[in-house]
A and B are shown apart, each in its own frame.
Chain A
Amino acid sequence: MNEQTVKIVDIKKLTSRIKSFRLVSANGKKLAPFSPGSHVAVEITLEKKVRRNSYSLCSSPYETDFYEIAVLLAEKSRGGSQYLHQISVGTELNIGFPKNSFTLASLARKHILIAGGIGITPLLSMLTTLSRYQTTFELHYTAKSQTECAFYEFLKQKYGSQVTFYFSEKDERLSSNKILKEQPLGTHIYLCAPHSLSDNFYAEARALGYPDLAIHREIFGAAKTNNKKPFTVVLSQSGKEITVPKDKTLLAALETAGFPVNYSCRVGGCGACELGVLAGEIHHLDSYYSPEERAKQNCILSCTSRAKSKQLIIDL
């Protein structure tokens, strides 16, 4: 994946654990424009292993001479965020074309954006578009404290009363009920927050009667499963058998074995890496399928989901 080559021209420390990076084209080609809510895959090579981390584009969709991403130094970093936190201005990176699995609903009458911590990142480009078209929106943004709240000054200055901050250190809590009830028909909700907060808003919105299609979720970090087991897959077309070790995804194992699969978000949210399953029991770990679709046990998102049985036969 070297769809775009970029060079870091500026690094800012936004909080103790979040850094932002300004990226410009490194080869004279124009950067691809993008839609609000988009992310790019950033290729990071560590100890000869290539990994791809997805980061939301925080910059304006109307100014694509540069991209900006913000990276949280993960507590249990697999090395990706640690690497980005160490590099300096001038470093070149290979990145993918922008992809979007968290789009603004074009016909929504009002948009409610909920951000938890680093979850603010995909919402920033949405805000640019919403304010450009003067669409009604509210942003509710929770962080540990004001100093740990990335883009605090920027948001306050630019969007004023349309933004409400909640600092957990001061015991300020978002009330999903208070925020979601008594909103006009045609309101859409965008959730980019840790699982617990996101789930809470989702459940509240459903209970209040929001249609499923009016609730949009961006998943950052795939669902954690503590005891990942290795399994094997058999490719039905060639009969080839591939082992998926416990620390590797099915998608990555297939890539290593020379069977590249289409992908986009790599955290089980977009459906791009779907594969048909002919036999075996699937352990669904994605946030893409409905319960009905899961029960059918006939397809798998290879970036996150695994096998309950020892083996899966996949249609590839």
Chain B
Amino acid sequence: MSNSIEAIKKFPFPFTSDSYKYSVNIQPVTNEALFDVNEHYNSEIELRDRILQKGHKGRYVALPHMKEAQWDTLEMIMNDLATWYPESFSLTQNGDRWIWENKKLNLKDTFTFLDESSLPYQPFEYISRQVPEDIMLLDQREGDLFVDAGILMFPTLWSLGFNAGMSFEEIHTPVPRAHQMGVFKKAKAFLMRVQIGKPWTRRNWTMTINRRLETSFETYPEWGKDRSTVTLENCGEKVHLRVEVQRFARLPRSNALMFPIHTYLISLNELSTNPAWTRQLHQVLKNLPADLIEYKGLSRYYDTVLTWLSHKHEVKALF
């Protein structure tokens, strides 16, 4: 399941300069969907479904006080999908009586807004099973943000089971450098002021071996060993740039913060069809400090990737 030429063109390449700097690097979302329904939609929804069937533990959590935030999320996602992908989704609201149609999943449900018993799942689970994004819901109280609900299938080495209920800074404790720079304090202050109707976005990146979206702590034994299988010959096929497009939106009734994360994977072969990207990724990796190489889990194949990229880069330069 690789990317089409169209998907490669639209890939959210995360770098804008040759050196990677920690910053809040956050942009307003204007005139685009918050949730991305693309060519991988059905396969990713199926994959998420399979993962969830093995159990909710560590995958889905919603603390009791997040009821309002759950309905907020359902309303925001339904409106977003129906607005941006009207050929696939529609929402009809007759007062509290809502009809939701998802043609991609052949699903049509009538339910009563704010009445949980009218849906087959909790509202947050119901709607988040229909988007490929992982979603965290952050309760804002007592001058802090807490991950008090979330659905997480495609984590990059973190765990909902471990992070649920934690405050913003507790969650970011393992990230090197940024604490000293005050990044999280500033980021938190910023997030706490995100306003209704004014969502924001940022991109985060790492690398993954093979086209594998599910890289959680819990399944590390299944995929951790793949990191030692990278050679110069298979590098282009095996090594993927992994980009998270994160959104931040204020949920209006609950005043909670919705944080959806869409994960995109692109193999180095696919990426290298764009010479500018190849060159920039090479430069960024070359300039990456040792502690970040370690934190992002790149150590075991870092040198191989650099060599592979420099060959690509040079070969392109020759012609």
Name A's B-contacting residues (CB within 8 A): 3, 32-35, 61-62, 97-100, 103, 105-107, 129, 213-214, 262, 264, 270-272
Contacts and interface: CB of A to CB of B under 8 A. Distances in A.
Contacts of A33: 72, 75, 252-253
A187 B65 CA distance: 16
B27 to A, nearest CB: 15
Given A32-B196, A33-B75, A34-B252, 17 more contacts: A35-B68, A35-B255, A61-B253, A97-B196, A98-B252, A99-B195, A99-B196, A103-B140, A103-B141, A106-B66, A106-B139, A213-B142, A262-B193, A264-B193, A264-B195, A270-B193, A272-B193
B198 interface: yes
B174 interface: no
Contacts of B195: 97, 99, 264
Nearest to B95: A65
A35 B193 contact: no
Contacts of B255: 35, 100, 103
Nearest to B144: A213
Contacts of B193: 262, 264, 270-272
B221 interface: no
A107 B252 contact: no
A270 B197 CA distance: 18
Contacts of A61: 253
A107 B64 CA distance: 10
30 contacts: A32-B196, A32-B197, A33-B72, A33-B252, A33-B253, A34-B253, A35-B68, A35-B252, A35-B254, A62-B114, A62-B253, A97-B195, A97-B198, A98-B196, A99-B195, A99-B196, A103-B140, A103-B141, A103-B255, A105-B142, A106-B139, A106-B141, A107-B65, A107-B141, A129-B68, A213-B142, A213-B143, A264-B193, A271-B189, A272-B193
A38 B114 CA distance: 20
A33 B71 CA distance: 12
Contacts of B142: 105, 213-214
Interface string B243-261: 0000000001111000000
Could you say which of A62, A99, A106, A272 has the most chain B C-beta atoms within 10 Å of its C-beta? A106
Contacts of B68: 35, 129
For chain B, give the interface size range. Answer: 20 to 34
B35 to A, nearest CB: 19
Given A34-B253, A35-B253, A100-B255, A105 B141 contact: yes
A126 to B, nearest CB: 12
B95 to A, nearest CB: 10
A247 B68 CA distance: 42
Interface in B129-153: 139-143
Nearest to B93: A30
Question: Which 4 A-B pairs have CB atoms at the shortest separation, nearest pair first?
Answer: A35-B255, A33-B252, A213-B142, A106-B65
Interface in B164-218: 189, 193, 195-198
A228 B146 CA distance: 41
Nearest to B193: A272
Contacts of B252: 32-35, 98
A146 to B, nearest CB: 33
B111 to A, nearest CB: 16
A97 B252 CA distance: 10
A214 B255 CA distance: 18
Contacts of B198: 97
Interface string B54-85: 00000000000110100010010000000000
B196 A34 contact: yes
A98 B255 CA distance: 10
Contacts of B65: 106-107
Contacts of B140: 103
Nearest to B197: A97
A33 B196 CA distance: 9
B77 to A, nearest CB: 14
B250 to A, nearest CB: 9
A3 B197 contact: yes
A35 B141 CA distance: 13
A70 B114 CA distance: 28
Contacts of B141: 103, 105-107
Nearest to B114: A62
B96 to A, nearest CB: 9
Contacts of A100: 255
A214 B142 CA distance: 7
Contacts of B254: 35
Contacts of B196: 32, 34, 97-99
A72 to B, nearest CB: 25
A98 B250 CA distance: 11
A3 B255 CA distance: 18
Nearest to A35: B255
Nearest to A274: B189
